[in-house]
Amino acid sequence: MIEKKTTKITGQKKEVFSRPLKKRGLTKISKIKYEEKIIQIKRVTKVVKGGKKLTFRAIVIIGDNKRKVGVGIGRADDVNMAIDKAILSGKKNLIQVPLTYNYSIPHVMNSSYCACQILLRPASQGTGVIAGGSVRTVLELAGIKNILAKQYGSSNILNNAKATVLALNQLSEKVDLGKYQCARKVQFYDKIMKKSKNDEIIK
């Protein structure tokens, strides 16, 4: 809102309009540039009383190629609307990924989602992203350049993507917890981990 100030000059009132107050440190999601990759568009039919209802489901992986990545799902009667909903859902469910100076992960991580199981292993500089399917897309959009990944069990595209995001989220929680456990782990993470803007602000 615009604030209104009044000042007296020789018995007369003069109105002065000040600029609207801006909140610092808040950036809109629409201003941040993200890269989106559509990994699946599926036609879904639902049997209802009058017959069959046809809808579309879109799965989109969104990330900034630095530290943030997310998986979004959108359902609508139109393909374009389903994609837009999936992009909006992905932006709401972004997670922070810990990166080392080699653009890899600090620990071996194993996680499962439904019938899918994902194994992530750190790799040295020059290895590249050794993964396939939706797992590779999630890791690339997260900014990871050197990693070894293996998927077991089901080959479902959505569940594998969610299992990878879950593994990266658990890894981030493990790193944050390790910084408060002992000074030895703090020295280890300071040596191999890239510092983000949030870490610099805390210090």
Q: How far is CA 140 from CA 65, 72, 93, 175, in A?
A: 7, 16, 17, 20
Per-residue pLDDT of the chain (203 residues; tens, 9 = 90+): 444 454 444 445 555 545 555 555 545 555 678 899 999 999 999 999 889 999 999 999 999 988 899 999 999 999 999 999 999 999 999 999 999 999 999 999 999 998 999 999 999 999 999 998 899 999 999 999 999 999 999 999 999 999 999 999 999 998 888 888 888 888 888 888 887 655 543 44
Q: What is the pLDDT of residues 116-158, one digit of tens each?
A: 999 999 999 999 999 988 999 999 999 999 999 999 999 999 9
Rounded to whole angstroms, the Cα distance separating 111 from 166 reads: 7
The packing angle between helices 133-141 and 157-181, to 10°, is: 40
Q: What's the predicted TM-score (pTM) here? A: 0.77
Q: What domains sit in the chain, N to C, each tagged with a CATH number? A: 33-95 (3.30.160.20), 97-194 (3.30.230.10)
